[in-house]
Structure 1
Amino acid sequence: MSALRLDGQRGALVPWIPVCLACGIGAYFALPVEPSTRHWWILAIVLLLSVGGLLAGLRHWPLAVALILIVFGFGLAGLRTYMVAGPVLDWRYYGPVTGRVVTVDRSGSDKIRLTLDRVKLDRVAPEETPLRVRVSLHGQQDWLDPSPGQRIGVTAHLSQPQGPVEPGGFDFRRMAWFRGLGAVGYARSPAILVRDDDGTRPIGRLRMAISRHVRTVLPGEAGAFAAAITTGDRSAMGAETLAALRASNLAHLLAISGLHMGLLTGAAFWALRLAFSLVPGWALSRPVKKYAALGALAVGAVYLALSGGNVATQRAFIMAAVMLVAVCLDRRAVTLRAVAVSATIVLILRPEALTEPGFQMSFAATTALVAAFRMMRDHAPVGTGKWRRWLLALVFSSLVAGVATAPYGAAHFNQLSHYGLLANVLAVPVMGTFVMPAALLAACLAPLGLSWIGFWLMKPAVEWIMAVAHQVAALPNATSHVQSAPAGFLGLFSLGMLLLILWRGPMRFSGVAVAVAAIALWVNAERPAVLIAPSGGLIGVMQEGKRHLSKPKGDGFAARVWLENDGDLTEQSAAAVFEPGHRFWASGLSIVQISGRGAADRARESCAEGGLVVASVEVPDAAGSCLLLDSVDLTRTGAVSVRVRDGQAHLTSARAKTGARPWNSGPALPEALPTLSITPDKVLIDGQ
């Protein structure tokens, strides 16, 4: 233990508290099955032994504390899982849906999407009705300006949230569980207004009223952008503008997160402190700095409420609150300890946030910035001019934040923006210098009916930001796509960077080796040779580094995700080179995909020829030397991947990857899929 030199870490252990909590939370979510009573007893024994070691005066007490925190994090995640539990619709529903509007946003297909609570479904008992449902409004809608608190009715198709479209992929079902979504779907018939205002959700209605006012004062995309950053309402944002913001790495400006909360509370703190200082008697006799911090905290709380209070905004407010409270306590505000306290609070309140890209990117950027500016402060050249320091800090902060978040963004979204630094250098200062102060001014003038002054001042700055986004996105090779990261990359890479930043002494540089090992794991990762959609209606085969699909239309979401995870920008129609019903090969494995009229009979015929046969319908009484996956099998397994190694095809199901967890409801988990041994003339199941 002396080799670890824990004594040398005294005074630097606080930042490791959220790291230990995250280890326990991550362990909980990584389990293939829900912990049993035996598992909880083992954890309880570990906890008791650790506490006993502390009470007995254990010399290396940090290890005992670390174990306690890991167990605590594990228990927090399990407790949170059962606290948010609610009914999940386990069958396809079509019929009347009524509910109260909670939030309004847009779907990936650019349709108005409503999240409803207090839901009523026809012929569904109240105890079996989901707590919340999410419905995308397709077709012609007579009213497209819904507000929270309204009660609407619509005839909709609903089903349970879907699992990953490939084994090990993004699990929307788990995210929906923690957001209380028990069903998702769409409606093609017009929605009707059952009741305009039930007297609830006044803040939500105020948000939408402010959003409409902003879009009235600033028509077009400028107003939509201003509404998004002031109220969190993105429902008016156009798909083209959103794509440009993503391609230029400026999409974070839309998310009300640390940047917005920091800029707004910082502007409020500066304005209040200046105002207090203008009264000499008050400034000389009172701690105006602390009063300004409290005032900025109140401004942040109002902004949190008006912006919808989503997870990212809550996280940003907690970070800002910790720093402002530090000012009130005469402590340094921007430190790694403040970041650690913020992360600890977020993980205690929402352990599931650990798995979300927003949490990872936000704290990666903040931790890197604090560490980088601490180093810059200690080694800054003497005599640097004020404006030169400001310019250096601007470029340096954009560079550090971009580098820190790039691995997480690439791992989650498979996209790298080559000119993100340029776009952020041109846009972020405008955001902080003009947009957020103008928004604060508009809020202050709103009671006088003069908010238009603030929005008028904001308009040129917003137009500049959108112009930067469009121009940068239009540059040649503005973005590139990478294949999805393997399981374990983010955890290993994060551990390496945390060792480098948090640890004291030469051992910190071992974090570089850990991070490089994580990157090597990603670089050497191989994509599955074959992917099978949960519906059985689409197959993707990897040949010569390109994913070839079995049809040009249908199962579009699965096709898009597969190609993105391959790091491929090809459209589904261009990638479709195989035809359903025709046999094709992947690394020597014979495959045929059957769908459409008479699929069952054709599947039986194909099964007699051997290989892997996938059918989108139920195929009873099939005989032959094939491995058949029909709709019944795929209902149990979910998506299936095939990896071919050394003449053997290994099949993995999405349900086996996600495991038997509370959010992974459905039929009983299937047995392990067989391994296919490939020979020159036939395919043998399990080598038999």
Structure 2
Amino acid sequence: MDNGLLRQQGHLFGWSPVLFAVGISLYFGVRFEAGIALYAGATVALLACLGLVRLCPDGLRALPIGLALVLAGGLVAGVRAHSVAAPVLDFRYYGPVEGRVIEIDRSASDAVRLTLDRVVLEDMSPARTPARVRLSLHGQQGYVTPEPGQTLILTGHLSPPAGPVEPDGFDFRRMAWFEGLGAVGYTRTPVLLARPAEDGAAGLAIYRVRVAISRWVQTALPDERGAFAAAIMTGDRSAMGQEVLEDLRASNLAHLLAISGLHMGLLTGFVFLVMRNALLLWPGFTLRHPAKKVAAFCALVVAAGYYAMSGGNVATERAFIMVSVMLVAVMLDRRALTIRAVAIAALIVLVLRPEALSGPGFQMSFAATTALVAVFGFLRRFDMDWLPRRLRPALGVVLSSLIAGLATAPISAAHFNQVSHYGLLANVLSVPVMGTLVMPAAVLAAVLAPVGLSGIGLWLMGLGIRWILFIADWVSGLEGAVGHVHSPAPPVLGLLAFGALVIVLWQGRWRLAGLGPAALAGVLWLTTERPVLLIADSGALIGVMGDQGRALSKPRGDGFAARAWLENDGGPVAQAQAFERPGLSIEGRRQEVRLGSAHLVAVRGKMALADVVDCDGADILVSNQQARPGRSCTVLDIATLRDSGAIAGYLRDGELQLVSVRDRTGERLWNSRRAREVARLAWR
């Protein structure tokens, strides 16, 4: 082991964010909320590991450092989770809601959606009132056009953020906890203005500028071109139509909308090249000052302004950190694109937002960047002079798209259950236009805006965007453009990432050992078993897997859970179509099914539950109402399901085994009022 670690010296820093991420994963993976005693013990262990570093031989010092990084990751995640603690609504609320607008976007149903802070709810003390709520606007609106900073009043339906729709599914409740959202809901009544927007808060002032720029761009560029331009310039995607978004997703071009590493890289790269070449035309300056470093500093300033103007969301923050690390490396006479630079950026992101680790944005962006740095670093060993110079840029674009696409494809498929078969083609035809026309034109529009000539830049942007939208529409319309896959088991992505990182980071022939975990991940994914039974936490929807796919118990209602189940099965069809499938015996508001030796009866509504005598011979009774106690079967009523969360059923040797969300997650700060109370008392 000593000699093995010695051979890795100089290359071990790349493992730092990996080990830090292991600690974060351990924090989120346990089924209990740690008390202050455990945090104190972990801190002592961390300090002990750091103390051991000097006592260990050179070849073994990496071991206590690695353990210290794991402990640090867990501690940072725990501190972050407690630092964002805020009240969470624990019941369904209907009544007046007052709050200040801090964000305006659109929901999945294409409704205008508001995020409010300074929330006031009727008959609720400030200590119990959520710090932020998010509401979708339905019904007749138009009395008030929501603006950032306005204080609005409305009559809303609010509920706690929902948990996963199935065990091991996406946990919106956890995401909401870290975003400070204590309740979500909607209103069907007109929104009224309580107080106009205030001057003062810098964040809202910048947001108002963003909204103004977005509207200005959409006025100058009509239809979807303006919506696309507003999205890449300000991060405002509220004007994008659902049909265009679907085309972009199907062609694997949706990443062009998000202000991420691609946009930051294209923007700062363009500014860097322009500034450096401009300074080189000024010999007096370049003889006294390093033009390359000055250009890097100017690009960094532009990147910071772009970050502020785009709203500073997680994806943009991650991109800004990565670009900043690389530009600072240039200013320090270091190579910009190295595994070390990527590792530093990943560490910074994970320290600031450890919860980002499980998100597709973090995983895809760092997977693509790491793969690109590793592959192009490997290619530097070979003599490429035989390639014609004119072909090298085109080959670089094709190769970059191929590498990034291969690196992110399994992550995208695991999170979104979708594979774009012609994504490489769409990116090869679109990314060069994005880099050589759209982003430079955006800079040109910003530079010319003070003299009233921004229309030139916006017109050029419109040409490039028109081409990208054309490619998205064409590729998404090709036969077999999109494939669907079922969700993998939880260990799959971790094994895949570990195998890939061994191949990239380990030095020597043993790096090929990373193929083992990667192959095991593929086998586990292929053999992942989908639940034969799914029960929504509302008690109003069940899904049973049959020969033709999952059959659902109703054609409408609980649409989010229904859509997620079908997508996770790898067969996203309309809910009404899944309702028509065989597998369930349905009579009015009563459904029956036999799964192995278990007989299940599900009823919706008080009258349907009242008609059930004891359990009507069923082994499992499901209801969206509260059932009387003392029944002779397993009862999964609304009270039980609210505590346990959604339930999945698996057949094992003819027996139906039930697993709930709570069985998988345990009681954590974001899903249990009791856990929050225990943690609050423990930390006093």
User: With structure 2 as the length reference, what TM-score do the two structures score?
Assistant: 0.95
- Which residue of structure 2 aligns with residue 64 of structure 1? 64
User: Is the 8 Å Cα contact of residues 530 and 643 (structure 1) preserved in structure 2?
Assistant: yes
Instruction: Specify the alignment match of 2:679 in structure 1.
Output: none
Amino acid in structure 2 at the alignment position of 1:491: G
Distance 2:620 2:396 in 1: 59
Match of 1:684 in 2: none
Partner residue of 1:535 out of 513, 535, 538: 538
For residue 168 of structure 2, give the secondary structure of its aligned residue in structure 1: coil
Tell me the equivalent position of 1:618.
626
Distance 1:440 1:48 in 2: 48
- In 2, the alpha carbon distance for the partners of 1:236 and 1:417 equals 24
Q: Give deviations 1:187-215, integer Å, cap 9, x for gaps.
A: 11111222332113110000000000000
Aligned to 2:381: 378
1:246-645 counterparts in 2 under 5 A?
Answer: 246-544=249-547, 546-577=549-580, 578=584, 579=586, 580-605=589-614, 607-624=615-632, 626-645=633-652
Measured after TM superposition, the shift of residue 275 of structure 1 is 1.6
- Structure 2 counterpart of 1:672: none
**Does the CA contact (< 8 Å) of 2:20 and 2:73 recur in 1?**
yes
1:1-37 deviations in whole A, cap 9, x for unaligned? 247x000111111111111110101110001111234
Query: Which residue does 2:681 correspond to in 1?
Result: none
Deviations along 1:351-404, one digit per CA (max 9) or x if unpaired, are 111111100000000000111111122224332111211111111000000000
1:148 aligns with 2:155: no
Counterpart of 1:245, as a letter, is L
For 1:95-244, list aligned pairs within 5 A: 95-142=95-142, 145-199=145-199, 200=201, 201-244=204-247
CA distance in 1, matches of 2:452, 2:123: 49
Match of 2:611, SS state, is helix
* Rounded Cα–Cα distance in structure 1 between residues aligned with 2:355 and 2:249: 25
In the alignment, the residues of structure 2 paired with residue 500 and residue 668 of structure 1 have an alpha-carbon distance, to the nearest angstrom, of 41
C-alpha separation in 1, matches of 2:387 and 2:176: 51
* Separation in structure 1 between the aligned mates of residue 149 and residue 278 of structure 2, nearest angstrom: 38
Go from structure 1 to structure 2 and tell me whether the alpha carbon gap of 1:628 and 1:668 turns closer, same or farther (over 3 Å shift): farther
CA contact (8 A) 2:601 2:618 kept: no
Q: Does the 8 Å contact 2:149/2:198 carry over to 1?
A: yes
Contact 1:603 1:619 (8 Å CA) reproduced: no
Q: Distance in 1 between matches of 2:355 and 2:16?
A: 17
Q: Specify the code of the residue in structure 1 equivalent to 2:69.
A: L
Structure 1 runs not aligned, ≥5 long: 670-688
Of 646, 653, 662 in structure 2, the residue corresponding to residue 655 of structure 1 is 662
- Contact 1:164/1:170, CA 8 A, preserved across alignment: yes
Partner residue, 1:679: none
| Superposed CA offset, 1:639-684 (max 9, x none) | 1111110122211111221211100124789xxxxxxxxxxxxxxx
- Distance in 2, matches of 1:544 and 1:554, equals 24
Contact 2:489 2:524 (C-alpha < 8 Å) held by counterparts: yes
CA distance in 2, matches of 1:603, 1:636: 23
- Deviation of the 1:145 alpha carbon: 4.6
CA distance in 1, matches of 2:613, 2:171: 33
> CA–CA distance in 1 between the matches of 2:314 and 2:144?
26
Assess if the C-alpha contact under 8 Å between 1:140 and 1:190 holds in 2: yes
Paired amino acid for 1:618 = Q
Query: Identical aligned pairs, as a percentage?
Result: 53
Describe the shift of the 1:181–1:385 C-alpha distance in structure 2 as closer, same or farther (beyond 3 A).
same
Maintained 8 Å contact 2:668/2:675: no
Contact 1:353 1:359 survives alignment (8 Å):
yes
Residue 49 of structure 1 and its aligned partner are, at CA, apart by 3.4
| Contact 1:28-1:78 within 8 A present in 2 as well | yes
Q: 1:590 to 1:668 in 2, by over 3 A?
A: farther
Worse overlay, 484-493 or 239-248: 484-493
SS in 1 for 2:72: helix
Distance across 1 between alignment mates of 2:23 and 2:271: 38
- Tell me the SS of whatever aligns to 2:287: helix
SS, match of residue 617 in structure 1: coil
2:100 alignment partner, SS class: strand
Distance 2:56 2:651 in 1: 54
Contact 2:81-2:178 within 8 A present in 1 as well = yes
> In the alignment, is the contact (CA less than 8 A) between 1:93 and 1:159 conserved in 2?
yes
CA shift for structure 1 position 42 = 4.3
Query: Are the aligned partners of 2:144 and 2:191 in contact in 1 as well (CA < 8 Å)?
Result: no
Q: Secondary structure at the match of 1:489?
A: helix
**Equivalent residue letter for 2:593:** F
1:16 matched to which residue of 2?
A: 15
Cα offset, 1:285, TM superposition? 2.3
Q: Secondary structure at the match of 2:53?
A: helix
User: Residues of 1 paired with 2:656 and 2:61: CA distance?
Assistant: 49
Match of residue 677 from structure 1: none
Partner SS, residue 89 of structure 2? coil
Match of residue 682 from structure 1: none
Whole-Å separation in 1 of the counterparts to 2:43 and 2:316? 35
**Aligned match of 1:681:** none
| Separation of aligned partners in 2, 1:466 and 1:41 | 55
What is the alpha-carbon distance in structure 1 between the residues aligned to residue 455 and residue 192 of structure 2?
A: 33
Structure 2 unmatched runs, 5+: 677-684
Deviation, 1:95, is 1.3
Question: Conserved in 1, the CA contact under 8 Å of 2:596 and 2:655?
Answer: no
Please give the alpha-carbon distance, in whole angstroms, between the structure 2 residues aligned to 1:654 and 1:272.
Answer: 54
Alpha-carbon shift at residue 603 of structure 1 (Å): 3.3
In 2, Cα distance between equivalents of 1:428 and 1:143: 42
Give the number of aligned pairs: 666
Distance 2:306 2:260 in 1: 11
Report the alpha carbon displacement of residue 45 of structure 1 after superposing the two structures with TM: 4.5
Counterpart in 1 of 2:680? Answer: none
- CA gap of 1:667–1:18, structure 2 versus 1, over 3 A, is closer
Partner Cα separation in structure 2 for residue 306 and residue 668 of structure 1:
38
Q: Which amino acid in 2 is paired with 1:238? A: G
Letter of the 2:659 partner, please give it. T
Is 1:85 matched up with 2:85? yes
C-alpha spacing 1:35/1:471, structure 2 compared with 1 (3 Å): same
Q: CA deviation at 1:445?
A: 1.1
Q: CA, structure 1 residues 230+145, in 2 after alignment: closer, same or farther (shift >3 Å)?
A: farther
Q: RMSD of the TM alignment (CA)?
A: 1.5
Q: Deviations over 1:415-453 (max 9, x none)?
A: 100000000001111000000000011111111122111
Contact map agreement 2:544 2:551 (CA 8 A) in 1:
yes
